[in-house]
Structure 1
Amino acid sequence: MSKNKGRKDQQWFDEKYSEGKAIVITGGRRLNFTGSLKIERFNNLESINLKKLKIAYLEISKCSQLNITNLSELTKLTSLSVSGCPKLITLNCLSNGLTSLELSGCYRLNNIDLSKFTKLQSLYLRGYQNLTTLDCSSTEKLISLKISDCVQLNKITNLPKSSKLQSLFVIDCPKLTTLDYSTNALTSLEISGCTKLKDIISLSKAPKLTSLSIIDCPNITKLDCSSNERLTELEVSDLTKLNCSNTSIKILSVNLCPNLETLDCSNNNKLVNLDISNCSKLEFLDCS
């Protein structure tokens, strides 16, 4: 599809539907869209029903009254982003070709079934307040997973089945108690604001890890990343014991760990800067 045709399709769509309460479109020879479609700031819109369109990318954002969305027959859809739709309750999307899914600021959305999205590579969930369990058993091709501000989330299951996962971010999920991220492909891991998280699987299960951040998780007080030789970036807080020997960290600050008692940085000839100025309780330090 040419860029010019895409702009004309979008302009026609905006003019026809931006003030309405419902969008119902069934594609055919005379009416079809290909490429991308954006539905943004349709302030009166309450429902969307799109069928048999050939769009690959769909963005729905800032539709404050939207509560029902049916995309069940968009078989060409590969990327879906829905954000800033606080009244959205039902999202029906069955495209098994979806590779990217973003759900952000849809606070009332019912639990979504990921089992149909077997080709999903990127998943971003933010402010998904009804989400209690995330089952990743079908997302074996997942490369990036970011979960933020999901206040009821207490369990992420079958994540190790996503054997291609490279990037994992879990932020401000205060009810999450355990996290098993063991996958050989993981290079970046960030966990923050998970105040009930008590345990993380051994970091030896992520041998390719290069960046690690565990912040504001007060129940995690001990961390051993001595098996992660490729680790170059480390950010931590609330620890009493840290073993980062045998890593490739160049700069390390443990100022957010005022109760740190034991620190092992041995066997790391790349470490050039170490800041322990806020660690008045430190009893053991090894940088040999």
Structure 2
Amino acid sequence: MAITRFQNLHHQSSVMIGALAMADLSMGVAYTPVKLFRTHVPYLFRLEMPCMIAMYIGHFASLAAIIFISLLSLKRFYAIQFPFHYQAHATVKVAVIVNVAVFVFIASALVPLVAGAAMWYDGVSCYAPTLYPSLYTRFIVAVAAIPLFLGFVGFIRVCVAEFRFRKQVFDQSVTSLKKQESIRSKLIITVYLVSLCFWVPHMLYYLYDTVSKADRNVYLFRIVSLVDLRSSAVNCFLYAWKNSKFKAAYIELLRLKPSTEVIRPSTIDTVSLSHSL
């Protein structure tokens, strides 16, 4: 809501954050209810179709959250490593196209979950590593792990750039544009590091069960599921903590007090948006 409503958030970085917010929202409105149903109405998921639907929803929400947090890190790496190319080509329109393409890719990659890939029989556990062929579940792990690894490489590069900026912070020649870029870098560093800590335990557990073909440990599975939900739950608060524009937008949306900062458009962002349109 903040990104669509306020002009000074009309920026390619904000569009990428908006896509991650959509993925986080799917974790709350789709993934979480399915988890609750599986916990409290387990007999329903002994049927094939409810199980297949639950597999698709759970994997789609999880992969979207992991991939988009990785893309945020890679986008910041791109902006730092190739600043001139980034300024020339990274527009709102390009960001929208990339986000839509990623959503379509995830939806397509998970079609086998509901298209007959399951080795279904009466009494089988509704759990992907035991329900699907190892080759396919390893493919799902790769779809999440490869962007996460690339995002980690980008994360290291962003950390190095931010450290160098900190050494120059007392230099009067540091421009306001560089300071704005530093704010975006700090946001990505914080969000990516927190998400990495939350998601890696579940990915490792999923990979272990994929290789061993072991059935899930119910209590351990619930713990790692609750941990990865934390990532989506805290992201919006991290934006407000590390970015004053998001903080001001939230205050305005919640009607806590009017904010001149969020209403006043940023010259750079406005120019960027007009060129992209």
TM > 0.5 fold call: no
Q: Hey, which of these two has a bigger chunk of helix by percent?
A: 2
**Higher Rg:** 1
Return the TM-score normalized by structure 1: 0.19
Return the TM-score normalized by structure 2: 0.19
Q: Which has the higher contact order (CA 8 A, sep 6+)?
A: 2
